[in-house]
Structure formats: structure tokens, C-alpha cells
Amino acid sequence: MNARAPHRTSPAPIKDRRTTAQRMAIALAGPVVGFALLLGLWKTGSLSMPRVPPPEQTLSAALRLFSDPFHDYGGHDIGIAWNIAASLGHLLAGYTPALMLGLPAGIALGRLPMLSAVSMPVISLFRPVSPLAWLPFGLLIFQTQQHATTWAIFVCSLWPVMLSTAEGIRKVPRDYMNVGKVLGLSEWRAFKRILLPSALPNMVSGARQALGSAWIVTIAAEMFMGGRGMGSWLRHELVSLNGQNILIAILVIGGLGLLLDLPATMLKRKLDRQKI
């Protein structure tokens, strides 16, 4: 009688787990080292500059600040959650209509050379204007600080969305459209099956760039116009020379910007992998 060979577990799953763990370790190594260097520089700077609070004091202040984020005693004495909500509301109020208008406008510019020839000189005239320079015009037209802020965010978001979309439409090879004509595709079907898949990476890049610019302008406009929001709170803490809260505001603004950028970054990577 033949002896049965002992059963051996395949090493492939173990190897796969090790490979995944190595990839995760490599991916985390950069951020960990980067933030460690940041904390080291921050601590060193606080030792040589007395007005800069050290990381441990700032952390204690942040814990106190976030322990009651929803209080509202009127004026500037409100919880940080209300300022975050106000800033995100301002951002969406300006960015959303820019996205809704910029995408179809960019498609039209990419598809209609005559429209592009007429519009591009005007766009080139207004695009270099600083978004904050649009605030006085917004106040002149809309008469309210909130609407002026929304207007400035809208203007700065519109150009990247519109121009990146138009560029993506123009990059679609003419042969693709000729194939669509041979197949008898309607304009809508040609757009859905040919233009949109080809131009989508550019459209996502434009939307991502616009969102980053819109967040920067949101904070700057709030600092300029006042009211509620992270920018207004940062300005108030600057007047009070509260170094801990100034640093907390900077870190929160940067963290929110990172979170806002994350979905578009993931979508862009997915589209790039599909192209390979």
C-alpha cells in the first residue's frame, strides 16, 4: 500500500500577503517620514521663535477646541464645526454652478471651432484676473458679501473646468469621429460612446484643478469679506495673535483640502490605469 504524501499548503497566498504588505509599507513610508520631518522642523522653529507654539501645546489647544465643536454663543464665539460647515457651503455654492456650466461650455468650445475662435480672446482677457479682484465687482452687482464670495469662487472654478474639457474634446482623434459617421451614430451617441470616454480624463483633471482653486479662493474671500467660515475665523485669530489657533486653522484648512481632493485623485488614477 502506497503511503499518502503529506499535504502541503501552497506558499502563493503567503507570498501575495507579503507583497501586499510590502506595497502598503512603501506607500506609508513617504507620508510618515514627511510628517515626522514637519514635526521636527516645527519643534525646532518653536524653540528659536517664541511666538510659534510648539506641537504639543497646539495639540492640547486642538483637543480643547474639538471637544465642543458645535457651541454657538454669537459673533465669532462659535464652534469650529460651524466654521467648517460655512466654508464648505460657500465652496459648493460657487463650485457646483461652475461645474454645471463649465462642462457643457467646454464641450461646445471643443466641438465648434467658430465658437472657440470668438470666445477664446475674451476668456484670455478675463482668466488672468485674480479671483479676489472679482469680489468688488460681485459686491457691486449682488450687494451682499455672501453672494460676492460665491461669485468669486464661481469665476475661479469656471476657467479650469471649461478649458480642460475643451482641450479633451479637441484631443479626440478625428478618425474616431469618422468611424462614428460610417456607423451612422447620432451626435448624442457619438458623444456618449466616443467623445466622453476619450475626454473624461481631461474633464476630471479640470474639475480637480478647479476644486483646489475654489477652496483656496473660499478661504481668501472669507478672510476678506468676514462672516462665518474658516477664513474669517483665521483672520479673527490673527487679530487676537492666538498662535495656537492660527496653526490649528492652517492644519484644518489643509486637511479639508486634502480630503476634498481625494475622490478626484482616486478617479484620475483609475482612468489612467484603464488607458494603459
Is pLDDT of 99 > 90?
A: yes
Confidence (pTM): 0.83
7-21, 139-153, 198-212, 252-266: segment of lowest average pLDDT = 7-21
What average pLDDT does this structure show over 2-15?
52
Confidence of residue 1 (pLDDT cuts 50, 70, 90): very low
Q: How many residues does the chain have?
A: 276
Domain definitions of the chain by residue range:
62-275
Is pLDDT of 6 > 70?
A: no
pLDDT at 92: 95
Going by CATH, does the domain composed of 62-275 fall within 1.10.357.10? no
What average pLDDT does this structure show over 20-28?
73
Q: What residues contact residue 229 under an 8 Å CB cut-off, 6+ apart?
A: 83, 86, 87, 90, 218, 219, 222
Q: What residues contact residue 269 under an 8 Å CB cut-off, 6+ apart?
A: none
What average pLDDT does this structure show over 71-95?
89
Per-residue cell: 233: 475665523
pLDDT at 91: 95
Confidence of residue 240 (pLDDT cuts 50, 70, 90): confident
Residue tagged 464648505 (cell numbers): 88
Confidence of residue 211 (pLDDT cuts 50, 70, 90): very high
Helix locations, 127-229, DSSP H: 134-142, 145-170, 174-182, 187-190, 196-225
What average pLDDT does this structure show over 136-142?
88
Candidate ranges 4-18, 35-49, 165-179, 239-253; pick with highest mean pLDDT? 239-253
pLDDT averaged over every residue in the chain = 84
Other Cβ atoms within 10 Å of 173 Cβ, number: 10
Asked whether 249 and 141 are in contact (CB, 8 A), the reply is: no
